[in-house]
Structure 1
């Protein structure tokens, strides 16, 4: 099981420019599909509810089911990708995503649709950390600008996918004769295209350093998945009172605490060769959070806060336009279109500056810019023209997400070891999912509280929308403050002190199938 004389990794193989573009495009498309699966359904909820005669309380599960399964399995799927092959996990995840996305278009009741959405999330959980691992391997730090461009493109898939899903989801829902089902046809086609790209763009064989110990930490996998499932479920139901919710919240915290203690024990055990023989390596080495002087953990915290801020704005702005103002889905989409354009521009900008501008400045400026979007809607006057509040908010909303994904993921990727790339990416994505759930839930509780008082004194719901947006400003402000204080002294990508990289896994023997072999 242990090779006392591991051979060093073979020199990086040459890769054509076109192959590099294809790999980056494949991973970016996977991120775009994953992100759009969340927003395209959200904007069609009123239409789906009317078509399937679904109760309003049950509609949220059509959105939450996807994030529940994907967010809770990202860490485990990242481990599988690092140990058993990133291309293999990517292709299997793409197959799952394609099959269940297509199946969603044929359902006739909300329960079946929610269940299929959950299986969709499993596919997303497999493809995203595997894609990040593929990028990190195919574009090592020595590749310079190519690495920055690849990660910038991948990061842009998140906000562009969110805008893409929102825009096309609204257009197809209102204009297509298949209404809400049309968006699932489109998403299935994109998932199938990702599958084909994943099969043919990545090389059949990649020589990499394989971890010495490929055993799976099943207790850690069960504890983390159960704890995250309960936590995301509680966040999805948090706006409703009940003793059961409090009990489930406490149980989720207990399970996650046990997971942390167990992982710490495994990591310490693997620092002693005698004890390592009887225990698997940790699913998530706690030392990952302390890499680069603890700044990897800081980036994870910024990701949680930033996504909470962004999703608060994205969630309530759709309701503001469609419910409060009374716009149709298409009119709402038109007002949100600048998000898509900004995402493309930011993709180009961040690729040019990420290796020249300090990471602290990139993250702080991005989070601050995104915080301006909920700020504008917290101050909005409904009688004012769109160009005064709505247009600048749509432009600002995705800047922080673009900058965070590109600079943050590059910083994390540089700080961890070659055998931890997919796991580190899985943790990053998990934090964004938790931020999404927490932000929407917390703002919904505040909205309902303010709305209850508004109903008592007045019928205007505008103060409720503004209060929810102020909460988004708060999360964005905290993310900016964390970037300014905790990332002080961090240089540019590739020139910053990274600290220890991979302290638990050492290269063993070269092999030719783990990271790229097709299933």
Structure 2
């Protein structure tokens, strides 16, 4: 039986008394809405993976040093991850369809621009502008799905399908990006032409399929610009430092790295305190006549949101963060292991990773089928353990062994945690959030995955570099091989690749422990029979604490 809890803000509860969603669309319209949102996720993910697999080619053609290549991927993640919360709030206030359409137009324009760049700096800047479009699209898509489908089996299918867009997009970007990079005359530029076409197609579907925006039910529609500045600037600085710290002139001891990291952390801390203060002011009965009313708009993010469901909202955020640290941290080094250590072509690398994306699609189909009858602990706990196990297989890999011994099973199991966490986590967040918070809550969840990607890649890179330096120093003291002079000896960096994977494994285990600690015995997050009354429950201003 569903239990209920107060949102902690009585006035906001009254505001939320509007219906949870618009009337359930017809079957055909439901399919088109789900397909459009899923395609948005595919476009977003493929933009990252298609560039990732083309990095060695881009580096050769544009003369970019290897230690600067990561910014082609990181610049996109930087803006798309750091602006999610701000655009999620704008989507909730001013219209999710508007945010979706404007984001698609923006993304298409700058994706096309990337295809015409001839230097590293311009490409990095345009990739960052690409990410701004993605930051508007993803939270709007989550809000559109939550608004269009009330708690039901259809909602479970919608969110599972949307989550499946991530592995499909990754597979598409990896497969098509690798093939176009290797086989076409335009090499890596062809991937941006294709991405532009897909974005335009998604834009057209959005214009036709998505319902017209309904006015926000919030009485106070002001935007917390100070909060937006603090959280965006803080996250940008933190993610920038994570990407730059290892390649700065003096690495992490470089003065500007230390200063920017401190500034970034301070801004995020100030943002949290500022949001807590705004939430208290908004909850006060005298807020409309208070002396600070003009300077205290509704918070960009309610701090109380993190305490909902007995703190499990914060727990699911931590699980998402740690899972992505493991999954993307591991994948980053798998791609480099295949291309830089085994010297495989982009196409052969793509073929070896393809089972991962097929499994990802199957995982999300499985979630749609079992999420309404299987306890969420099996999805979260089991999935994160399997993702961690995938990292272990590469941590103990023997390069001379066949692909089927280590690479294939790792590709099969490593995706479970990411897909189970995203699907089940999205459903959980949609149930916990109030109707006017759907895009913000979805943006928070996606932000944690983006931060997890940045932290996972950074920490594993630090470990890789330290072990690589040790191996290089050891080689410098060895006598020369008979077939080559000493200065031409090259260190075997396999221990560095393995150490990076052990680090990713540690993140995965932490995610599993968090899931077991907070969701053991919790039950299901999918549709249940008693959820048929959710509209009535929501109209009373309460939440089902799934």
| TM-score bracket relative to the smaller structure | over 0.9
Aligned to 1:104: 114
Report the CA distance between 1:55 and its aligned residue: 2.5
Alignment of 1:388-399 (within 5 A): 388-399=405-416
Measure the CA separation in 2 of the matches of 1:310 and 1:5: 41
Q: Is 1:316 paired with 2:333?
A: yes
Pick one of 8, 21, 27 that aligns with 1:17.
27
Q: Is 1:163 paired with 2:195?
A: no
Bigger radius of gyration: 2
Measure the CA separation in 1 of the matches of 2:164 and 2:224: 33
Aligned to 2:282: 270
Measure the CA separation in 2 of the matches of 1:138 and 1:165: 29
SS at match of 1:270: helix
Pick one of 216, 225, 230 that aligns with 1:223.
230
SS at match of 1:337: helix
Aligned to 2:426: 409
Aligned to 1:517: none
**Conserved? CA contact 1:211–1:507, under 8 Å:** no
Q: Structure 1: which 5+ residue stretches go unaligned? A: 509-519
**Conserved? CA contact 2:167–2:361, under 8 Å:** no
Q: Is 1:132 paired with 2:152?
A: no
SS at match of 1:275: coil
In the alignment of these two chains, the number of paired residues is 500
Report the CA distance between 1:370 and its aligned residue: 1.1
Report the CA distance between 1:160 and its aligned residue: 2.2
Measure the CA separation in 1 of the matches of 2:530 and 2:445: 20
Measure the CA separation in 2 of the matches of 1:433 and 1:4: 30
Aligned to 1:192: 200
Aligned to 1:147: 155
Pick one of 233, 240, 259 that aligns with 1:233.
240
Measure the CA separation in 1 of the matches of 2:63 and 2:110: 22
Q: Is 1:485 paired with 2:520?
A: no
SS at match of 1:394: helix
Measure the CA separation in 2 of the matches of 1:7 and 1:228: 30
TM-score (normalizing by structure 2) = 0.88
Aligned to 2:4: none
**Conserved? CA contact 1:210–1:507, under 8 Å:** no
Deviations 1:239-270 (A, max 9, x none): 13112111111111111110010000001111
Alignment of 1:165-184 (within 5 A): 165-184=173-192
Report the CA distance between 1:353 and its aligned residue: 0.7
SS at match of 1:274: coil
Report the CA distance between 1:400 and its aligned residue: 1.2
Alignment of 1:357-372 (within 5 A): 357-372=374-389
Measure the CA separation in 1 of the matches of 2:192 and 2:496: 33
Measure the CA separation in 1 of the matches of 2:469 and 2:345: 26
SS at match of 1:273: coil
**Conserved? CA contact 2:16–2:434, under 8 Å:** no
Instruction: Tell me how large the CA RMSD over aligned residues is.
Output: 2.3
Q: Structure 2: which 5+ residue stretches go unaligned? A: 1-10, 476-490, 542-546
Pick one of 47, 54, 64 that aligns with 1:44.
54
Pick one of 318, 329, 338 that aligns with 2:355.
338
Q: Structure 2 vs 1, CA of residues 55 and 477 (structure 1 numbering), >3 Å: closer, same or farther?
A: same
